[in-house]
Structure 1
Amino acid sequence: MDPIEKAAEEILRVLMAEHWARFYYAVEQDGVVYVNVPDDVLATMRETHPLLADFVAGLNGQPIDMESSQRAVGEFVFRTFEGGTFPVGTVAKTFDSKEFARLMRLFSVWLSGHEAEFDAEIMPFSLWESLFTAWRADPAVQRFQDSLKGGGNPAPPAGETIH
């Protein structure tokens, strides 16, 4: 896996954690939406995903909207990965890469295809991650991923095998 692909996967994990936190733990108070992940949930997350738990803990109690979400993810990714995990310049190149766009498209398709399942019960982040990984391994999804690599705007995979 080249550095851009590896960075795209790591950045996607941060985005997934941010989305998971908003999906289950966004609360509105006086017209402002906040993230409020319970301490016990963060403690469990720290056992399996300590870095992501630190990120989510940083969101806790903060007002959140599209702009602040993007800013929080970007700041965390640059602070955490740039010049350490990945060479300087890799993170910016990754955000602008086709590989990252492809992963974001996959994540979006996965979310929209499983929203009812996610609404049925609060799932730990580790389950979200394993479900996404298993979904990506499905042959129909593999073909869809391959078609995204080829360019264009293919239709998402259909059928019961991917949902």
Structure 2
Amino acid sequence: MNHNLNLKSMNVGKAGKEILRIMMFEQWVRFYFLVDREGTLYVDVPAEALERIQEKQPDLLPLAEMMNGDDVTYEKCQATVCAFASSRLDGQKFAPDILPKAFDSKDFKVDLYMFQLWNRGHEKYLDERFHDFEEWEEMFSEWSKLEEVQQYREKLVLGGQQNTAEPDTLQ
């Protein structure tokens, strides 16, 4: 008897983590491969970088290819990330109603805020030299393990108020 069960995950938290990774990658691409052409910003990922992405993050290569050569606006970036996440995760890895729940979850919103906080706080360091995406993932992960960062995250989750102030202890 052939049981071709194609079970989709119902784990909202796991979906949120995968969406966050996609958003981190999109930010990484824009951070290192943005060029200004006559006042318009474009993504320009060289062939060598695409080959490295293919080697290290083959699941994210299609996102880099979608962005490559395109002009950049907030709306376009948001639409690209959502379209990519939907095409790769919605109904593929996760049940159809899970991604909207993940995007709306408090944990995801706090995780995204924490990534943005990390990114802003480390921008000078990240700009000193090129860091592969796996380095970003590792640095963010290690930063997230710091006791003061965990305490701040917990306050956000429990309090529900995302303070826009950046405590010096988190940088």
Output the TM-score relative to the length of structure 1: 0.91
Deviations 1:6-25 (A, max 9, x none): 11110011111111111111
Deviations 1:78-105 (A, max 9, x none): 1110011110111112112212111111
How much has 1:31 moved relative to structure 2? 2.6
How much has 1:71 moved relative to structure 2? 0.4
Is the Cα–Cα contact under 8 Å of residues 144 and 157 in structure 1 kept in the other structure? no
Q: Does 1:158 align with 2:168?
A: yes
Q: Which piece of structure 1 moves more, 79-88 or 146-155?
A: 146-155
- Whole-angstrom distance in 1 between the partners of 2:77 and 2:100: 17
How much has 1:156 moved relative to structure 2? 4.6
Q: Letter of the 2:79 partner, please give it.
A: R
Structure 1 stretches lacking a partner, 5+ long:
none
Structure 2 stretches lacking a partner, 5+ long:
1-9
Q: For 1:7-46, what aligned pairs fall within 5 Å after superposition?
A: 7-46=15-54
Stretches (4+) displaced over 4 A:
154-157
Judging changes above 3 Å, is the alpha-carbon distance between structure 1 residues 147 and 59 closer, same or farther for their aligned structure 2 residues?
Answer: same
Aligned length: 160
Alignment root-mean-square deviation, CA = 1.5
Partner residue in 1 for 2:71? 63
Deviations 1:9-62 (A, max 9, x none): 100111111111111111121332110111111211222211112211211011
Q: Does 1:90 align with 2:98?
A: yes
Deviations 1:107-139 (A, max 9, x none): 111011101101111111111111001111111
Is the Cα–Cα contact under 8 Å of residues 21 and 56 in structure 1 kept in the other structure? yes
How much has 1:141 moved relative to structure 2? 0.9
Q: Does 1:106 align with 2:105?
A: no
Q: Does 1:136 align with 2:144?
A: yes
Tell me the secondary structure at the aligned position of residue 123 of structure 1: coil
- Whole-angstrom distance in 1 between the partners of 2:31 and 2:123: 10
Tell me the secondary structure at the aligned position of residue 73 of structure 1: helix
Of Structure 1 and Structure 2, the greater helix share is in 1
Tell me the secondary structure at the aligned position of residue 41 of structure 2: strand
Q: Does 1:76 align with 2:88?
A: no
